[in-house]
Structure 1
Amino acid sequence: MPAASPSPERLYTLDTLRGLAALSVVFWHWQHFFFVGDSPAAFEVARQPFFSLLTPFYQYGGLAVQLFFSISGFVFFWLFGQRVAAGSLGVRSFVVDRFSRLYPLHLLTLGGVAVLQALYSTGHGTYFVYPFNDAYHAVLNLLLAPAWGLERGWSYNAPIWSVSVEVLLYVLFFILCLAGRWRWLLAASACGAGFALYPGSYKIGSGLLCFFAGGLAYGVLWQLRRRCGSGLALLVCGCIASGAWATQLWLCETLNVYLVMGLCFPATLALLAAAGPHWPGLWRRTGWVGDISYSSYLLHFPLQIVFALAFDRLGFDRAVFYQPWMMLAFFVVLLPMSLACHRWVERPAQRWLRGSRLADVRQPGERAAV
């Protein structure tokens, strides 16, 4: 009988894709260096480093966050969906797993950004890019709630907004999975709700749409492999993904975000997961990029403040950030810093918070990017 899951091993393809998405956000946020207060000043998009090579990332890098949501949905339904439905994964273990994964680094970077923004505002009279760094928004950030509709604007380490939305998605995911086989219908309904909410409530709307579209992509792949075998599943997923991207690239005159979020992203994830059983070592050497995705995502904004402070103090004009060598220098710092943070902050904190009695949260060999 065909296997009922994409693979019991780590999916390096999804890990690598998540890591690349995190780095795409860094390119998207390179414009931060040209902000005065919370608005860009005399910013020339095409002068950014390696623009001809990185144009898609500069133009559409913000969509990498929606790709995060899709990957999370796919992986959560893969790793946890059936276990929650069967009652073998309880609320406490699930909450501790998520808290230990997300909160330690969030707390560290929140404190770091608070200090750095205070230093920046002292010398510049404004905050760096994100203006709402007050006590009220500090509380929202401490509660991982800066994107729940309670905020007045962007605050502190603002990229955490996607994690804030994911917290709500985790709660909804767990509740839906308690419905057993009905979880798929409920997931489709959540997708529809996200479609309706976007773009008016684009944070929660895109989160709902992409997370549960990713989960449904896993469900389709699971059914294909169970009924047709892994070979045919790979072929079908390849055709769907190719058709979706071909439609976007050649038939749509402009970017159709609904097509990309609702079909292109989840179909691509299903294709990469379907390839796992056939090429288990695919992208193994780049899996480390996924390991550091959370670190690089949360560290890049405070590091931008450090670079802005340092080069302002040295007397450089902000135009220096148009120079390719400056981007290379930034990544030379960011990547080792993220690796060190993953090894000496994230992983030890997770082991300490989870403890040996919570070892049932994961199964052996499961190291997907969640």
Structure 2
Amino acid sequence: MSKAPQTSRIGARELVKARDLARGGPLDALRFFAAFFMVIYHYAEQAPVSLFAIHPALGRGYLATDFFLMLSGYVLGRAYGDRVASREVGDREFLLKRFARVWPSHLVMLAGFVALILATTLIGIAPQNPQWFQWSQLPAQALLVQSWGFDGPSGWNTPTWTLSALIFCYAAFPVLWRMFAAIRSPWLAMAVGAAIFVVVDLACRYWLGQASYRLALKYGVIRALPLFLIGVLIARMGREIVVSGRAADLLGAAAIAGVVVLQLVGQFDYASLALLGVLIFAAGASVRKDWGWAKTAGGLAFALYLTNQFVGVVWFGAQNVAAGKLALNDGAMWLTWALAFPAAVVFAAMFERFVDTPLQAWVKPRVGVGTLRSMFRARPSMWRRVVG
């Protein structure tokens, strides 16, 4: 009699592990749509009529970014939680692996921006928004520390402020996972995480005059960390609370409908963020793993996030030049604006295929366990010079 519940729990855990390894389902679809909604938000003001003026809901693109931050915490929790807890992956090794995943491609894209600005300046074309391309901001961008409280606009490849904030979150992840693992109940752990989010939000409203989940880019770490933590705790719930595939699908559909309705009727950010968290949980619990398109789309998410600003600068700069020379009417302006979205996806696919994938193939063997251990143990003086 006493062994039946234990067998059930073991079976549930094995089911969860099997789901963790599967790709091509709702979770990959969410990764793509989170990135694509951020593209819509970034391109909204370039439309002939700003999308923000059409409906207030279109001005809440910050929720897509917040969703992306929660999703990042969830994905890392599901992929690395057990290995970090068991010390199979060391804290420094984990951080370097995550940094190596994002930094090389980020540098390539930043170099693309520099080449673009130098080339257009050389032929006498000034950027539409010169405040985005201040040379003084380039070092912080390159080092991915621009959202750690530095003054000045977060220009160049602006969306990478989230990468900057996530680097900090990556460093905190092993400690957060082990700390909250000490709380036996996943529900209590989530309640503590939600309380932290609310306290940080109230403090930001009082001292900074803005909700934490809408803070200026230079406060990106403050904005990201509570949301990332919520995602991590959703990952823990996903490991310990198993629901049926049908229940997960119904829960996800209800969460999507709830978010849409809330955006249409008013601004309910707390409720919207809670429903987005439910959506992440439901997507991770779903047994629908045979969406080949989702696997492909999910693989493009990082590249789309990293390259959309570059495409936008080039595309809308060319559109403005064409509008002046060809006297484009409103219909043509809307059409060329809309074509920016497939252009962004195509460019992201090319970047993923010809830049990001080859770079990772070169980098990954060089940040293996043995390499990292030798770097930290054999040459500690080198790291002291780097960090100190």
TM-score by length of 2: 0.74
**2:49 is matched by which residue type in structure 1?**
E
Aligned counterparts of 2:129 and 2:155: Cα–Cα separation in 1:
9
Which residue of the partner structure matches residue 280 of structure 1? 289
Which residue of the partner structure matches residue 171 of structure 1? 171
Asked which structure has the greater RCO (Cα within 8 Å, sep 6+), the reply is 1
Which residue of the partner structure matches residue 16 of structure 1? 29
Which residue of the partner structure matches residue 214 of structure 1? 231
- Compute the displacement of 1:57 (Å): 7.7
- Compute the displacement of 1:178 (Å): 4.1
Aligned counterparts of 1:241 and 1:70: Cα–Cα separation in 2:
18
Q: 1:299 aligns with which of 280, 304, 307?
A: 307
Q: 2:50 aligns with which of 30, 45, 48?
A: 45
Name the SS of the counterpart of 1:235 in structure 2. helix
- Compute the displacement of 1:84 (Å): 0.6
* Further displaced range: 78-87 or 237-246: 237-246
- Compute the displacement of 1:275 (Å): 1.3
**1:268 is matched by which residue type in structure 2?**
L
Q: Give the direction of change, closer, same or farther, for the CA distance of 1:241–1:289 in structure 2 (3 Å limit).
A: closer
**1:223 is matched by which residue type in structure 2?**
E
After superposition, the C-alpha distances for 1:210-260 in whole angstroms (9 at most, x for unaligned) are: 2121222222232222xxxx42x8637855983796488369952211222
Which residue of the partner structure matches residue 326 of structure 1? 336
**Runs (5+) with no aligned partner, structure 2:** 1-7, 371-388
In the TM superposition, 1:71-220 aligns within 5 A as 71-119=71-119, 123=124, 127-129=127-129, 131-179=131-179, 181-182=181-182, 185=189, 187=193, 190-192=196-198, 194-196=200-202, 197=204, 199-201=210-212, 202=215, 203-220=220-237
After superposition, the C-alpha distances for 1:261-302 in whole angstroms (9 at most, x for unaligned) are: 2x11110011111112xx332x33232111111111121111
Q: Give the direction of change, closer, same or farther, for the CA distance of 1:324–1:32 in structure 2 (3 Å limit).
A: closer
**2:42 is matched by which residue type in structure 1?**
H
Aligned counterparts of 1:209 and 1:23: Cα–Cα separation in 2:
23
After superposition, the C-alpha distances for 1:158-211 in whole angstroms (9 at most, x for unaligned) are: 011111111111111122234472277475565345434463552334312321
**2:240 is matched by which residue type in structure 1?**
Q
Aligned counterparts of 1:9 and 1:234: Cα–Cα separation in 2:
17
Q: Give the direction of change, closer, same or farther, for the CA distance of 1:45–1:132 in structure 2 (3 Å limit).
A: closer
Contact 1:71 1:211 in 2 (8 A): yes
Q: Give the direction of change, closer, same or farther, for the CA distance of 1:204–1:319 in structure 2 (3 Å limit).
A: farther
Contact 2:252 2:278 in 1 (8 A): yes
Query: Rg larger in 1 or in 2?
Result: 2
Aligned counterparts of 2:104 and 2:320: Cα–Cα separation in 1:
31
After superposition, the C-alpha distances for 1:301-359 in whole angstroms (9 at most, x for unaligned) are: 11122223434444256876973431453234322221121122112211211107738
Which residue of the partner structure matches residue 297 of structure 2? 289
Q: Give the direction of change, closer, same or farther, for the CA distance of 1:267–1:82 in structure 2 (3 Å limit).
A: same
Q: Give the direction of change, closer, same or farther, for the CA distance of 1:250–1:21 in structure 2 (3 Å limit).
A: closer
- Compute the displacement of 1:63 (Å): 2.1
Name the SS of the counterpart of 2:144 in structure 1. coil
Aligned counterparts of 1:117 and 1:318: Cα–Cα separation in 2:
26
In the TM superposition, 1:332-343 aligns within 5 A as 332-343=342-353
The answer to whether residue 316 in structure 2 is matched with residue 308 in structure 1 is: yes
Contact 1:147 1:161 in 2 (8 A): yes
TM-score by length of 1: 0.77
Contact 2:34 2:68 in 1 (8 A): yes
Name the SS of the counterpart of 2:182 in structure 1. helix
Which residue of the partner structure matches residue 350 of structure 1? 360
Aligned counterparts of 1:171 and 1:357: Cα–Cα separation in 2:
16
- Give the CA RMSD over aligned residues: 3.5
* Percent identity over paired residues: 20
**1:114 is matched by which residue type in structure 2?**
V
